Structure 1
Amino acid sequence: MTDWWTTGTSIASAAATVGAVGVALWVAIRDGEQRTAEKRDAEAAQARLILSRRDSEAVLIIHNNSQLPVIDVGL
């Protein structure tokens, strides 16, 4: 009878460990996705503060209303 209890508790312990690892992985993946979304939102908000207008055929005026510098401009 004791062997059944030992086996049963070992199986239950292994199942609980697998479940805990699964939950930890799910939380880590969800947290990473949330951080990525927050970073994208912050970058988009900063990009909305950069304004441009064409002054003439060959002149493009860029106004940086943000706290961060404009590092790269592609035309």
Structure 2
Amino acid sequence: MTNPFEREDGSYHVLVNAEGQYSLWPAYLDVPGGWEIRLTNETRPVCLEYIETNWRDMRPESLKQAEAAKK
């Protein structure tokens, strides 16, 4: 069985959680709680490019806020 996250011919969503973390998600699977769809029903390469373009700072939002509070 092929990994559903690595199928080049699959349809995917890009998900984002409250911490600002991104995930590639197979479109046929239910979106897990705490995640929202930012890009829907696209090819894997389109989704990966979206993630690369939009997720510039991989630190969780809570860490960014804690670091900003220390300044």
TM-score by length of 2: 0.25
RCO higher in structure (CA 8 A, sep ≥6): 2
More helix by share: 1
TM-score by length of 1: 0.24
Larger radius of gyration: 1
More strand by share: 2
